[in-house]
Amino acid sequence: MLPDGSVDIVSGADGELFVAGPDTGPVRRELSSGSLIVGIRFRPGAAGAALGLPASELRDAQVPLEAIWGRRATELADRLAASADAGRKRRVLEEAVIERLPTVKPPDPVVLEAVRRLGRPRSRVGALSEALFVSERHLRRAFRYTVGYGPKTLDRVLRFQRFLSRAPAEEGLARVAAELGYADQAHLARESVRLSGLSPTRLAERSSS
């Protein structure tokens, strides 16, 4: 699993119920054949309010949901265990999140707008706070709570996700790097290794296989 800026509530194959992310590097989990895993994903900027704690406390971690929601998580795990298939498990998870919505503050609109602008070829993290009429300190603090890390890290993650969606052939890497806003192909290569553990060429090979 590669960083994407999201936070997930996951019901694992062995009945475990945990919160995953936001990650800054690859995460590997061994799964047996036929494993059933169901999850709910919070897009960047939504997790902090929905879960009721700073998303930075979940950075690069997988935390039992019980440690966050207490008894409600235990009851949710029991309901998931009694659900027969993936569709029903997903609905149970959705209902658990929806039940919390009346007591949850809506996502910070400044953060959501910042997220919308990041990861693009001409995005400039240094100019973001000025464009959104907030201080850099305020924006960093808001990002730590809602996203889990700062705007610069999310910019890198979202740009890398856009690279993954392109799945370019090896001979197109330099062109794609320039189109996505990397300084050059070497910059893309460094980011690829940092965020995935693999070179862009290897990622392209895997996506085409």
Beta bridge partners of 186: none
DSSP label at 58?
A: G
pLDDT digits over 105-140, tens only? Answer: 888 999 999 999 999 887 788 889 999 999 999 999
Q: Are residues 48 and 15 in the same domain?
A: yes
Tokens of 12: 């694992």
Please indicate, yes or no, if residue 2 is contained in any of the structural domains.
Answer: no
Q: Any idea how long the chain is?
A: 209
Q: Answer for the pair 201, 173: CB distance below 8 angstroms, yes or no.
A: yes
Cα gap 164→192, rounded to integer Å: 10
Q: Which of 103, 132, 151 is the last residue of a domain?
A: 103
Helix (H) or strand (E) holding 41: strand 38-42
**Mean pLDDT, to the nearest integer, of 98-102?**
84
Give the three-class secondary structure for 20.
Answer: strand
Q: Are residues 113 and 199 in the same domain?
A: yes
Res. 202: pLDDT tops 80: yes
Q: Are residues 60 and 90 in the same domain?
A: yes
Q: Are residues 88 and 133 in the same domain?
A: no
Q: Which of 103, 136, 156 is the last residue of a domain?
A: 103
Return the ∠ at Cα 96 (arms to 95 and 100), rounded to 5°: 105
Please indicate, yes or no, if residue 1 is contained in any of the structural domains.
Answer: no
Q: Are residues 14 and 99 in the same domain?
A: yes
**Domain count for the chain:** 2
Q: Are residues 122 and 56 in the same domain?
A: no
- Which has more confidence, 147 or 121? 147
Domain assignment of residue 98, given as a range: 7-103
Please indicate, yes or no, if residue 200 is contained in any of the structural domains.
Answer: yes
Q: Are residues 120 and 91 in the same domain?
A: no
Q: What is the pLDDT of residue 52?
A: 86
Radius of gyration of the chain (CA): 19
Assess whether the previous peptide bond of 22 is cis (omega < 30° from 0): yes
User: Is-above-0.85 flag for pTM?
Assistant: yes
Cα gap 144→169, rounded to integer Å: 36
Amino acid at 115: V
Q: Are residues 58 and 90 in the same domain?
A: yes
pLDDT digits over 4-45, tens only? Answer: 999 999 998 777 899 998 999 998 877 677 778 899 999 999
